[in-house]
Amino acid sequence: MADTFILWLLLVAAGGFTWWRFYRLLRPMKRAARAARFDQPLRRLAGVARALGLHERLLKIRYSGILHAMIFVSFIALTTSIVESFGSVLFPGFSLGPIGGTTWIALLQDIFALVMLAGVVLAAFQRYVLRPARFRGSNAIDATIIYVLIVTIVVSMIFEATFGILAGKAGADWRPVSHALAYALSPLRLSGEQAATAVTVFYWLHVTSILAFLIYIPGSKHRHMFLAAPNIYFRSLKPKGMLPRAAPDKPPAPVASVEQFTWKDMLDAYACTECGRCQAACPAYAAGLPLSPKLLITDIRDHLIDAGDTPLIGGVIREETLWACTTCHACMEACPVHIEHVPKIVDMRRYLVEEGKIAPMLQEALSNLQRTGNSMGSATRMRARWTKGLPFKIKDARKEPVDILWFVGDFASYDPRVQDVTRKVAMLLNEADVDFGILYEAEQNSGNDVHRVGEEGLFEMLALRNIETISGCSFNRIMTTDPHSLNALAQEYRAFGAVYEVMHYASFLLELIETGRLKLKAEARGKVTYHDPCYLGRYNGGFDAPRALIERAGYRLAEMPRCRENSFCCGAGGGQIWSDDSGVEERPSENRIKEALSLEGARYFVVSCPKDKVMYAAAVQSLGAEDAIEVVDLADLIARALAH
C-alpha cells in the first residue's frame, strides 16, 4: 500500500514537472506567426512512417542509422516493461501475464534490453572514440547523461528479473538473459530474503530512473524522441524551390527576433537532434565560413528558451553567418527530422536587407539588377549580343509565335566565358529544326537568387516584369539554360499566378535525341564525371536527363562520391556569386574539383549550369589542374557527338 502511494506521488510529481517543462518550452509557439501545415494529413502521416519506419535519411550514415534503429525499436519494445513496472504497483492486480507478460513479452524484453545496450555502446563508441567532425559543437554532456539514464533503466530491469529468479519468483522461464545472469550470480548463494531485497532495490532504481529520464527530456536534445514525429508530420509539402509564404497574396515578412518566427520554425528548433548531418553537408561550413546549419538551429533554440537581452541577429547569430549560406538545400536534404534551415536564413536576411546591412559587392549587384535587370549592370540592348556570331537569326518571341520560348538567363547571355556554350545550345536547337525564340532585351534576371538574398521587393519587380513579357508571347513550352531561372519560372512565379511548363535544356536535348530530331554518332568517347547543380537536382529533381545525355553522347559516367541529392554546391548560389570570398579557407568549387580529381581517368568535369562553368573553370585553374581535367558543358558533349 505504501509502495502504491509513493509511486503515485512520484509519478504525479514527475509527470507534472515534465509537463511544466514542456509547456514552458512550447509556450512561445502559441504566440508565433502562422504556418499553414494542416493540409493533406494522409500524405503527412505516410512521410512520418517512411522517415521513422525505414529510417530513410538516418541510414545514409549507416553506422549511425543502425544504432538509432536499434535504440528506437528497443525503446518501443521496452515500453511493455515500463507499463508492467508502473501498472503492477499503481493498480494492484494489474498484470501483462494474460497477454504474454510471462512468455513472449518477457522474451522480447530480455532480447531488446540487450539490443538497447548494444545500441548505446555503439552510440558511445561513435561519440567518444570515432568522434565524427559533424559532432563538433554538439552537447556531449547531454548525450552522456542520456546514455547513463538508459543504461540504468535497462540494467535495473534485467537485474530486477535476475534477482526475482534467485528469489524463486515464478514467471521468468522466458527470460534467457536473466536466467544466464542468475546462473552467473548463483555462487553468491543469496538467501531468498536477500534476493527479494535486491528485487525491491532494482525495482525502485528502474522506476525512478524512468521518471528522471522523463523529467530530463524536455531540457535535452533528446526531446526529439517526442518531437521528431510531429516535426516530420508538419514538414513543408510545397515544392522545394518555393520559399514559404503565409498566404499567396502576402509576401514573406522579415524576421528580426525569435518571436517573429512561425510555430513550425520553433518546433524545428526544438526537434533538432544535434546529429550534425546538416553541418557535414554544408559547403559554407566546409569552406571555413562562420556558418554551421546545426549551430544556427541550436542557437535559435537556445535563444527561444532564454532570450535575454542579446538581439537575435547581430548578437546570437552573426550577420556573416546569414550571408555565408548558398541556399544549396544540402542541410535540409540531410536532416533526419526535416528541419527547414534555408527559409529561416532567408527570413533573417530580409531583415538585414530592410536595414541596409548588405556588403558593398552585393549592394552593387542589387542596384544593377534594379537599374538594368541584370546583376552585371550591362546595358539591356547587350543581352542578346551573343546571337551575333550565329549563322542564323533567332526569332523574337515577343513578335512571333514560337513552339519553345528559351529563357536564356543572365550568365548565359552576358558572360563571355559562357556565351560560347549558349551559342552551342542555339546551334543544337537549330540543327533539330526546333521552332524557338528568345525575349531579347525584354528578358530580366529571373530573381531566384534575389529572392534568396532577401530582397523581396526587387524579386517581385523582376518576376512581374518577366511574367508581363511572357504573357505577351505565344508559345507552348519554356526552356531555360539556367537552373536558377528554372526554379524561379517553374516554382516561384506560381505565387503570382504564373504557371508554366518549364524544362531545363538537358531534358529538352534528351527529348530531341529520343525523338530522332538530333542524331548522334555511336562512338565510345571515354570517362567523364558530372556535377549536379543544386537548383536543377536537389530543388527540381533533374538528376536523370543529364546522365542520360552523357551516355547518349558516348561517354562513361564516373560518379563522384557526393552526387545526385548529396551533390556538393559550387558555392555560387543564394547570392554568393555577388559576394567576395573573404574568410574562405577552401572554395567549395575547389573542394569539388579535388573530389573529381580523385576519380580515376575522368577527363571531363561536365556541368549543366552557366554559373558552374565559370566557377569550376576558375577552380581548375587555381588548382593548376588544367592538364588533368577540363570543365565542359553538356551542350559541348552533344555538339561533339553530332552525327555529321
Binding site for ligand SF4 (CB under 6 A): 272-278, 281-284, 291, 293-294, 297, 325-331, 334-337, 339, 341-342, 569
Question: Closer to ligand SF4 at the Cβ: 235 or 424?
Answer: 235
Question: How far apart (Å, rounded) are the C-alpha atoms in residues 129 and 229?
Answer: 30
Question: Closer to ligand SF4 at the Cβ: 254 or 574?
Answer: 574
Question: How far apart (Å, rounded) are the C-alpha atoms in residues 69 and 65?
Answer: 6
Question: How far apart (Å, rounded) are the C-alpha atoms in residues 577 and 368?
Answer: 14
Question: Closer to ligand SF4 at the Cβ: 223 or 504?
Answer: 223
Indicate the DSSP class of residue 127.
Answer: I
How many CA within 13 A on the CB side of residue 28?
22
From the CB of 151, what's the least distance to ligand SF4, in Å?
Answer: 24
From the CB of 182, what's the least distance to ligand SF4, in Å?
Answer: 41
Q: Please, are residues 609 and 505 in contact by the beta-carbon 8 Å criterion?
A: no
Question: Closer to ligand SF4 at the Cβ: 323 or 386?
Answer: 323
Question: Closer to ligand SF4 at the Cβ: 156 or 491?
Answer: 491
Question: How far apart (Å, rounded) are the C-alpha atoms in residues 201 and 188?
Answer: 17
From the CB of 67, what's the least distance to ligand SF4, in Å?
Answer: 15
From the CB of 564, what's the least distance to ligand SF4, in Å?
Answer: 16
From the CB of 187, what's the least distance to ligand SF4, in Å?
Answer: 47
From the CB of 337, what's the least distance to ligand SF4, in Å?
Answer: 5
- Identify the three-state secondary structure at position 171: coil
Question: Closer to ligand SF4 at the Cβ: 313 or 337?
Answer: 337
Question: Closer to ligand SF4 at the Cβ: 325 or 408?
Answer: 325
Burial-class residue 517 by CB neighbours within 10 Å (0-12, 13-18, 19+). middle
Question: Closer to ligand SF4 at the Cβ: 542 or 575?
Answer: 575
From the CB of 194, what's the least distance to ligand SF4, in Å?
Answer: 47
- Identify the three-state secondary structure at position 556: strand
- Tell me how far the alpha carbon of residue 280 is from its chain's centroid: 11
- Identify the three-state secondary structure at position 289: coil
362: alpha, beta or left, given left = phi > 0 and alpha = psi -120 to 50?
Answer: alpha
Beta bridge partners of 555: none
Nearest CA to 305 among 335, 337, 272? 272
From the CB of 634, what's the least distance to ligand SF4, in Å?
Answer: 24
Question: Closer to ligand SF4 at the Cβ: 160 or 532?
Answer: 532
From the CB of 142, what's the least distance to ligand SF4, in Å?
Answer: 13
Question: Closer to ligand SF4 at the Cβ: 340 or 443?
Answer: 340
Range 361-398 burial, b when 16+ CB lie within 10 A, else e = ebeebbebbeebbbbbebeeeebbebbeeeeeebbbbb
From the CB of 102, what's the least distance to ligand SF4, in Å?
Answer: 40
Give the phi and the psi of residue 37 in degrees, each rounded to 5. -130, 30
Cα dist from 403 to 181, 413, 472, 493, 623, whole Å: 78, 21, 14, 21, 43
